Amino acid sequence: MPGGVNSPVRAFKAVGGDPVFIARGHGAYLDDVDGKTYLDFVGAWGPMILGHAHPAVIRAVSEAAGRGIAFGAPTEAENQLALAIREVMPAIEKVRLVNSGTEAVMSAIRLARAFTGRTHVIKFIGCYHGHADSLLVKAGSGVATLGLPDSPGVPAEVVRMTLPVAFNDPAAVSAAFAAHPNAIAAVLLEPVVGNAGVIPPAPGFLEQLRRICSEQGALLIFDEVMTGFRVARGGAQGRFGVQPDLTCLAKIVGGGVPCGAYGGRAEILGQIAPEGPVYQAGTMSGNPLATAAGLVTLAELGRPGVYERLEALGAALEAGLVEAARGAGVPLRVQRVGSMLTAFFTELPVTDWESARLADTERFARFHRAMLDRGVYLPPSQFESWFLSTAHTEAEIGRTVEAAGQAFRAI
């Protein structure tokens, strides 16, 4: 395997040392193959919002597998999951299930171009929307973590129609529309950036994008692969009260089993085959294991008080990290939305990729190793989000803060 891994950041190149090989997960914990246990804040990069091996999810997946792993034919569970999504995201009138976030975003862009008859797409520098060719332009996640340029193997002609602008800069968006009149099909963004570290939208930013897109005849696409069912039950669009035209989902929607979805206004989704001429298909789309895990996960998240508790845990971790860093004299800025956060090693506000990249990545690498030594498993990159789960407890947050205090003094 290239680098010994199947996804680049897992190789620990950005933080040093050997990657941890996992044997099993249980609740908020991971056990590695050497028998060491870690308190986990990666959560499979977001989907394990109920923790690892949640009994209800395991039971549902096991029962589904017993009935047959895949059919390549419609099932009742697909319709139930579509209805569960639509119930909490009113902007989604119709939805198509796919197998990953990359596939969801790629399909949504094709649909936006077909619906508008336009070619160009605005994306934001530092946002990562999967590894489709046209989106590997000034991307976040592993591209940012490893300091890679825009990827070789992507023809210049493919990315010519992708227009990167700074996050939280509505003037730059307006300027792009002015420079490309009647050519921009969509504005695509993570409504809360997670792939350059957590960067919240500035007050009014999402509303301004909604207005600009409506005035210009372009579609607004929210990539809620991370934020969907994470920052609120209705995702970022529910938390901030801004409705996109199209929404892309993955991670939590499949409960940890590979799954994605894209949806939006019925008149737009009506362009997808077989109702319309825009082709997209997938052998494993809506497979029984993913729909079973997703349905149970969304049901568990619908229990009273779940998001309030996640918010409280996130706030406690944020406050604890800030206080521990202050006590150790370490410059730190913690940015959080709900149960996702990033601890940036900088004193400056982080509002976009340019300000995020000023964080001290070498200090983060030392911090990561120090926390790993203390049994806390963090994302091996300064430019990724930490994720909490319902399996975390107040005591474990306290233990994490204590470990961080020791780590801050050690680095």
Helix (H, G, I), strand (E, B) or coil at 304: coil
Question: Which residue of the set 29, 245, 251, 352 is catalytic?
Answer: 251
- Specify the DSSP class assigned to residue 52: B
Question: Which residue of the set 128, 262, 307, 377 is catalytic?
Answer: 128
Q: Please answer whether residues 220 and 186 qualify as being in contact, where contact means their C-beta atoms are separated by less than 8 angstroms.
A: yes
* 373 given a catalytic annotation: no
* 223 given a catalytic annotation: yes
Query: What is the separation, in whole angstroms, between the first and last Cα of the chain?
Result: 33
Helix (H, G, I), strand (E, B) or coil at 407: helix
Q: Which residues contact 323 (CB under 8 A, 6 or more apart)?
A: 401
- Specify the DSSP class assigned to residue 411: -
* 128 given a catalytic annotation: yes
Tell me the sheet residues that pair with 334.
343
Helix (H, G, I), strand (E, B) or coil at 135: helix
Helix (H, G, I), strand (E, B) or coil at 333: strand
Q: Please answer whether residues 221 and 66 qualify as being in contact, where contact means their C-beta atoms are separated by less than 8 angstroms.
A: no
DSSP-derived secondary structure for 82-112: HHHHHHH-TT-SEEEEES-HHHHHHHHHHHH
Question: Which residue of the set 223, 245, 262, 377 is catalytic?
Answer: 223
Best CA proximity match to 107, nearest among 229, 276, 231, 230: 276
Annotated catalytic sites, by residue? Answer: 128, 223, 251
